[in-house]
Amino acid sequence: MGDGAMVLKRAHTDFGDYEEDVIAEILARLPAKSLMRFRCVCKSWRALISDSYFVKKHLSYGERGITESAQRLIFMLDPPLALDCEALKSMEDYEALESIKDDIHGPGPGAGGHFAVSQLDFPVTKTISDFSYRVLVGACNGLVCVEVGYEAILLWNPCTRDSKVLPKPPRVVDSKFSNYLYGFGYDSASDDYKVIWGFACYSNGATVIDIFSLKTGSWRTVKDIGYVSLITQQGLFLNGALHWLYNLPEGVTQILSFDLGEEKFQKTIPLPYDDWFDDPMIHKNCLCVLNCPTGTNSFNIWMMKEYGVKESWTEVLQFSLENYVESYDDLRGYFRPVCILENGLVLIDQIGVCEDLMVLSDLKEKKFKHFVEVANDLEFRTVIYRETLVSPDAHTYKTNNVS
């Protein structure tokens, strides 16, 4: 029996001995990118690093802060670019963004011109017609879920470069649907990754949810759900559930959640007060929403510091676009925050004739730095992911919980 087989045998028969293994403990504390290189050291290391129990151990250590787990921001351009979230410390430190600008607009340093930016190999296969149309369904535990070319859904780990094309969902986007929703997340109860594909039809007052399970490799349908009028399409994964903004019949905006374990919509989460809210985000493992108080030119970002508790909503950012847009009526159509990075840095996507990406850093002085224009046919979108070893391949995905 080879060294790799002995390691795996110990992993599956006696977890106590496995956790005491010095080599395994050392490797589990290393970044995912280093482990990808170390797979070439010997067969036993490759077997260990590829084992599902070790992958979960490494993921668990990253979540607990034991292992360094780099966070990267994917710019879903063509080709996709990844930016190290630690690269932007202030508005003056934006060389990484400049290299993205060079890459978009032609010859120059490009994505390889700065250590913080890397060009990703998007795994579009010959069986998928890409057409540069990509919708970010979501990201969870290092896996990124992308709809490609209206005809396929892809699970992709940008760090390991592993990918998997999922079977087509039972339903596709059709004119008879009033709106549709989607999302991707992890169900800890069943230790499974799930893709949600839902459609709401106003004419018959119903919403149908299709759920893909990575474990079973198949879709199933949940029916008999009342019609929901959604404001946002992408569900944000947090606390075991996906979240959307939607309108109540009386016209009040709230947050709608879908529990991935119970596979049903849960009690709605109230917003800070009754007003217009949009552009939900997740920052520091908390839900955030954007608010533009009626009759003002001010934008506020609120954070729900205690999940599900209305009283925990806290205004964390406030700024004005008075010197940027011509009138108050322009505000809501020309402004969308993409994400909040560390040190109060906010990436903002201006939606207009073209989509302009700006950076906002000094909130007290309301400073903006406009650094790149992105052609509107590229459908600029971003998602933050953590570098992990999690595989999108259901055949290598096994249940071995790590405490």
Intervals of the chain under pLDDT 50: 1-16, 18-20, 106-113, 351-354, 376-378, 397-403
178 located within any domain: no
| Residue 305 tokens, joined | 């510091």
Q: DSSP 3-state assignment of 13?
A: helix
378 part of a folded domain: no
Residue 190 is assigned to a structural domain of this protein: no
Predicted confidence at residue 227, as pLDDT, reads 66
Residue 327 located in a structural domain: yes
Per-residue pLDDT at 2: 47
pLDDT at residue number 302: 92
According to the model, what pLDDT value does residue 224 have?
Answer: 65
Residue 198 covered by a domain: no
Question: Which pLDDT score, from 0 to 100, does residue 390 have?
Answer: 93
Can you tell me the distance from the alpha carbon of 236 to that of 343, in angstroms, rounded to the nearest whole number?
22
Beta bridge partners of 221: 210
**Domain range for residue 49?**
3-63
Judge whether 199 lies within some domain.
no
* Residue 308 counted as domain residue: yes
Question: How many other CB atoms sit within 10 Å of the CB of residue 293?
Answer: 13
Of 26, 47, 63, which one is at a domain's C-terminal end?
63
Question: Within 10 A of 348 (CB to CB), how many other CB atoms are there?
Answer: 20
Q: How far is residue 90's CA from residue 344's CA, in Å, rounded to a whole number?
A: 9
Domain boundary residue among 27, 46, 63?
63
Q: Which pLDDT score is estimated for 63? A: 87
What's the pLDDT score for residue 327? 54
As for how many domains the chain has, the answer is 2
Q: What is the pLDDT of residues 67-76, one digit of tens each?
A: 877 788 888 7
- 194: CB partners within 8 A, 6+ apart: 184, 185, 186, 187, 211, 212, 213, 214, 260
State the Rg of the chain over Cα.
Answer: 22
For 141, 277, 303, the CA distances from 359, given in Å and listed in that order, are 27, 21, 20
Q: How many helices (H) and strands (E) does the chain have?
A: 8, 25
Residue 324 lies in a domain: yes
Question: What's the pLDDT tens digit per position in 111-160?
Answer: 444 556 778 888 877 667 666 677 889 999 999 999 887 778 899 999 99
